[in-house]
């Protein structure tokens, strides 16, 4: 079984065990008969638990030097399980700096901006304190950054039973009796907020390439450490301070959650100590690449990839996705042996150091950026699909019709007695009562080139892309239309509590995740259909009309938020021009789609021209230098919010700037009143610079929308009068 071979040992990126996995994948693809199989090597900066000393957290009495509680994360009780070997990594947060800090504890709920604002409204100071926050809602690195910029000296992260033990925390209610996480389960993960190798921004991390110094890299400033909820309860149970009477602030540890700072009762006058010994090391990582050359358009690439490194065994995540990719490549190899060849080249990839911040995929995109910009049709990310009841898809808007058409052709994993049950029907039933923010969703339109989109498509929710997986560099840095096939749950409950813990093993997979492999097969079949659509269809299955519709709906949302009025207060008058340009663009996308229906698919030159128009359309919205101080997110339309790396958003850079407007106005008022106190909080930019950034963004967007409109117009002879 492929998954077992991939998960024999813990295979953290940069280790010999991870290299062994890469070599296995390479040999598998050679045996399958794929072409140009090779390993792409990069030298990157990674982070590991200390090799000499273990990380620990303790409660101490400053007066007597007495330790009343200590958590040694190198000896987690999860390692008592027989399936854990000596090379299983200690629990840690990658890229957390080492540090020995002592301070009072403050509970910050999920550690979001709004959570810290709640504490500030209650006059609870973070400066000089250690923050404890639970996983969930936003990327863990944003939690640490939110605490650091308010003066915290350390952050403890834990998984609350509300997210990972919904049925209860008794032994009978958690693994290995159910899928829920025991109290000693600790979620490992990176707290680095950027993407790619920290020392080679904009450059591929080849060994000969220039590197910035470690102190110049944008790494976290304060130490952080994950713990399990059993130890978190000890830290939280005797906290002093406010009992914020909001359900959102109360978890399921069976205690009243108080804010602190500090303790009362049993631990009164005690403080918390974090002793972190993480190390930065330069290590080699290895992507594995293989191809099936195209027969007619070999210079057009359909790229499909999956991660192969893990924080431990990673049986569910990422190895179930890696195994699906190997099964997919084998199926295409068998088709090839029967005489089939794709019209366009298919490139299969597995990525190393994905867990550290999509490093392997980002370095490969940076190394091949010119080639990919000229030749890549689409990137399909084959994520672990079995972490929830059914898998879902996020995608670039112009890919919506292809995403839905593929779902019609694949049987649902749990079809019951209905042999005609498809993934499409499963999605439609699930989303029928959806009542979310429509401006974030990719809409639908009746103008499908194949004519097989019906009214019930309106129920299907296809979300925009976030930056949580290996599509990020393709979508946001290179502007390549992308699809992320991933797990997602209808009610946001945690179907896979063991993610990034020692419990992600074969026994957990086979008993609680996908016992009969039906979900794995369904997901692999779906990705295979997507590949065939993009590799074989003469006219690419894009729908540019969707992009126009999404832009128009989000312009409407900005107007509902009174953004034009706010901008006019600062004499920023571009919004009307932008709205007019988006209207023109939407009209042109409809004209283009109507013309597309008339094209002669046997006219090779004509199909090539319209395919190029669709394939390159998103590249127009790529700003070469990136957005403001963010070099990576070059896409003017799509990308994650600065407030949450995992978020998906349209006009994300504008929305981030707008989020800061109230703060900027308060800052301007304080300057008028002569009040320059900041309570230790960072100021990223001056007020005037902030408004300039909004103006520049709108200007870039306006120019790009107009260029995109012209790009979709019929071709004209250059010197035709």
pLDDT at 449 (0 to 100): 28
**What does residue 35 show for φ and ψ, rounded to 5 degrees?**
-95, 155
Tell whether the model's pLDDT for residue 669 goes beyond 80: no
Better-scored residue on pLDDT, 484 or 655: 484
Write the pLDDT tens digit of every residue in 158-215. Answer: 999 999 999 999 999 999 899 999 999 999 999 999 999 999 999 999 999 999 999 9
Contacts of residue 395, Cβ cutoff 8 Å, sequence gap at least 6: 403, 442, 462, 464, 465, 481, 482, 483, 484
Please identify, in words, the CATH class of the domain defined by 544-673+685-712: mainly alpha
- Contact (CB, 8 A) for 50 and 277: yes
pLDDT over 90 percentage in the chain: 71
How much helix, strand and coil, in percent to the nearest 5, is found in the chain? 40, 20, 45
Write the pLDDT tens digit of every residue in 490-528. Answer: 445 578 999 999 999 999 999 999 999 988 999 999 999
Tell whether the model's pLDDT for residue 83 goes beyond 90: no
Write the pLDDT tens digit of every residue in 21-59. Answer: 999 999 999 999 999 999 999 999 999 999 889 999 999
pLDDT at 389 (0 to 100): 67
Q: How far apart are CA 377 and CA 541, in angstroms?
A: 11
pLDDT at 440 (0 to 100): 40
Most confident listed range (367-371, 416-420, 520-524, 662-666): 367-371
Contacts of residue 474, Cβ cutoff 8 Å, sequence gap at least 6: 303, 361, 365, 372, 376, 379, 480, 482
Q: How far apart are CA 35 and CA 429, in angstroms?
A: 41
Tell whether the model's pLDDT for residue 453 goes beyond 60: no
Burial per residue of 517-540, b for 16 or more beta-carbon CB atoms within 10 angstroms, e otherwise: bebbbbbbbbbbbbbbbbbbbbbb
Structure confidence at residue 690 as a pLDDT band (50, 70, 90): confident
**Range of lowest pLDDT (58-72, 471-485, 542-556, 607-621):** 58-72
Tell whether the model's pLDDT for residue 463 goes beyond 50: yes
Tell whether the model's pLDDT for residue 419 goes beyond 80: no
Describe the crossing of helices 518-536 and 400-408 by its angle, rounded to 10 degrees: 130
Mean pLDDT for the chain overall: 88
Better-scored residue on pLDDT, 487 or 13: 13
Is 416 exposed, middle or buried, given 0-12, 13-18 or 19+ CB atoms closer than 10 A? Answer: exposed
Q: How far apart are CA 309 and CA 253, in angstroms?
A: 32
- Contact (CB, 8 A) for 232 and 165: no
pLDDT at 684 (0 to 100): 54
pLDDT at 641 (0 to 100): 81
Q: How far apart are CA 120 and CA 149, in angstroms?
A: 13
Fold exhibited by the domain 56-277: Glucose Oxidase; domain 1 (3.50.30)
Which residues face 66 on adjacent strands?
Answer: 61
Describe the crossing of helices 661-673 and 687-711 by its angle, rounded to 10 degrees: 150
**What does residue 362 show for φ and ψ, rounded to 5 degrees?**
-65, -45
pLDDT at 82 (0 to 100): 46
Better-scored residue on pLDDT, 678 or 586: 586
Tell whether the model's pLDDT for residue 265 goes beyond 60: yes
Tell whether the model's pLDDT for residue 223 goes beyond 80: yes
Structure confidence at residue 89 as a pLDDT band (50, 70, 90): confident
Q: How far apart are CA 480 and CA 398, in angstroms?
A: 11
Segment 226-233 mean pLDDT = 96
Q: How far apart are CA 322 and CA 349, in angstroms?
A: 10
pLDDT over 70 percentage in the chain: 87
Strands (E), 211-367: 224-227, 271-276, 279-292, 297-307, 344-351
Q: How far apart are CA 475 and CA 154, in angstroms?
A: 34
Tell whether the model's pLDDT for residue 123 goes beyond 60: yes
Segment 547-567 mean pLDDT = 92
Structure confidence at residue 429 as a pLDDT band (50, 70, 90): confident
Tell whether the model's pLDDT for residue 444 goes beyond 50: no
Write the pLDDT tens digit of every residue in 562-587. Answer: 889 988 988 899 999 999 999 999 99
Fold exhibited by the domain 1-48+282-431+458-536: Aminopeptidase (3.40.630)
Better-scored residue on pLDDT, 123 or 648: 123
Structure confidence at residue 430 as a pLDDT band (50, 70, 90): confident
Segment 687-702 mean pLDDT = 87
pLDDT at 63 (0 to 100): 76
pLDDT at 192 (0 to 100): 97
CA atoms within 13 A on the CB side of 587: 8
Write the pLDDT tens digit of every residue in 333-384. Answer: 999 999 999 999 999 999 999 999 999 999 999 999 999 999 999 999 998 8
254-257 long-range Cβ contacts below 8 angstroms, 24+ apart: 254/169, 257/107, 257/109
Segment 437-463 mean pLDDT = 49
Tell whether the model's pLDDT for residue 319 goes beyond 80: yes
Segment 219-241 mean pLDDT = 96
pLDDT at 432 (0 to 100): 67
What are the domain boundaries of the chain? 1-48+282-431+458-536, 56-277, 544-673+685-712
* Helices and strands in the chain, H and E counts: 21, 19
Q: How far apart are CA 517 and CA 368, in angstroms?
A: 36
CA distances from 161 to 23, 174, 231, 253, 568 (A): 39, 10, 12, 6, 47
Tell whether the model's pLDDT for residue 646 goes beyond 80: no
Write the pLDDT tens digit of every residue in 275-312. Answer: 999 999 999 999 999 999 999 999 999 999 999 999 99
Tell whether the model's pLDDT for residue 452 goes beyond 60: no
Count other C-beta atoms under 10 Å from residue 638's C-beta: 25
């Amino acid at each position: 079984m492929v998954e077992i071979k991939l998960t024999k040992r813990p295979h953290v990126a940069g280790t010999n065990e991870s290299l062994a996995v890469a070599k296995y994948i390479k040999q598998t693809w050679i045996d399958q008969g794929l072409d140009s199989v090779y390993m792409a090597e990069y030298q990157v900066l990674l982070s590991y638990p200390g090799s000499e000393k273990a990380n620990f957290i303790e409660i101490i009495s400053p007066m007597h030097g007495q330790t009343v509680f200590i958590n040694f994360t190198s000896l987690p009780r999860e390692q008592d399980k027989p399936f854990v070997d000596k090379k299983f990594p200690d629990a840690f947060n990658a890229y957390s700096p080492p540090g020995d800090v002592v301070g009072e504890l403050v509970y910050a709920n999920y550690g979001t901006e709004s959570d810290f604002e709640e504490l500030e409204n209650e006059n609870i100071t973070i400066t000089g304190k250690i923050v404890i926050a639970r996983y969930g809602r936003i990327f863990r690195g944003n939690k640490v950054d939110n605490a650091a910029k308010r003066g915290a000296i350390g952050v403890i992260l834990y998984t609350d039973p509300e997210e990972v033990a919904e049925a209860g925390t008794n032994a009978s209610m958690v693994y290995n009796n159910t899928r829920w996480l025991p109290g000693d389960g600790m979620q490992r993960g990176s707290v680095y907020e950027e993407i790619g190798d920290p020392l080679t921004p904009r450059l591929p991390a080849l060994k000969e390439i220039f590197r910035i110094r470690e102190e110049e890299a944008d790494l976290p400033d304060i130490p952080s450490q994950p713990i399990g909820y059993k130890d978190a309860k000890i830290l939280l149970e005797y906290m002093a301070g406010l009992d914020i009477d909001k359900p959102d602030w109360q978890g399921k540890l069976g205690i009243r959650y108080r804010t602190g700072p500090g303790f009362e009762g049993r631990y009164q006058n005690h403080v918390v100590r974090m002793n972190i010994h993480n190390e930065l090391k330069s290590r080699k990582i290895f992507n594995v690449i293989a191809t099936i050359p195209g027969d007619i358009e070999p210079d057009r690439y359909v790229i499909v990839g999956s991660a192969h490194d893990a924080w431990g065994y990673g049986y569910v995540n990422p190895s179930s996705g890696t195994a699906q990719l190997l099964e997919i490549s084998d199926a295409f190899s068998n088709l090839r042996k029967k005489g089939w060849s794709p019209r366009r080249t298919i490139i299969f990839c597995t990525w190393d150091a994905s867990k550290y911040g999509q490093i392997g995929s980002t370095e490969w995109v940076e190394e091949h950026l010119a080639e990919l910009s000229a030749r890549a049709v689409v990137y399909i990310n084959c994520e672990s699909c079995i972490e929830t009841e059914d898998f879902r898809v996020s995608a670039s808007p112009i890919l919506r019709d292809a995403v839905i058409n593929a779902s019609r052709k694949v049987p649902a994993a749990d079809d019951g007695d209905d042999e005609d049950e498809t993934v499409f029907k499963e999605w439609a039933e699930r989303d029928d009562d959806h009542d979310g923010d429509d401006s974030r969703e990719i809409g639908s339109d009746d103008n499908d080139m194949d004519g097989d989109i019906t009214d019930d498509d309106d129920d299907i929710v296809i979300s925009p892309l976030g930056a949580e997986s290996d599509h990020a560099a393709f979508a946001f840095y290179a502007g390549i239309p992308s699809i992320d096939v991933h797990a997602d749950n209808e009610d946001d409950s945690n179907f896979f509590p063991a993610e990034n813990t020692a419990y992600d093993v074969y026994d957990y997979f086979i008993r609680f995740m996908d016992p009969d492999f039906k979900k794995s097969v369904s997901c692999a079949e779906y990705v295979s259909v997507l590949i065939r659509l993009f590799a074989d269809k003469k006219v690419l299955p894009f729908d540019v009309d969707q992009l126009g519709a999404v832009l128009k709906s989000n312009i409407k949302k900005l107007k509902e938020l009174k953004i034009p009025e706010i901008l006019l207060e600062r004499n920023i008058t571009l919004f009307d021009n932008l709205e007019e340009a988006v209207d023109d663009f939407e009209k042109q996308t409809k004209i283009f789609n109507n013309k597309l229906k008339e094209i002669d698919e046997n006219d090779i030159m004509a199909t090539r021209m319209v395919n190029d128009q669709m394939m390159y359309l998103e590249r127009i919205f790529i700003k070469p230098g990136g957005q403001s101080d963010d070099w990576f997110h070059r896409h003017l339309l799509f990308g994650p919010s600065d407030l949450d790396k995992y978020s998906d958003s349209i006009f994300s850079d504008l929305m981030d700037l707008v989020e800061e407007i109230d703060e900027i106005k308060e800052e301007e008022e304080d300057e008028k009143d002569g009040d320059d106190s900041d309570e230790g909080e960072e100021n990223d930019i001056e007020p005037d610079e902030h408004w300039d950034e909004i103006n520049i963004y709108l200007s870039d967007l306006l120019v790009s929308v107009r260029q995109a409109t012209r790009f979709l117009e019929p071709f004209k002879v250059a010197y035709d009068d």
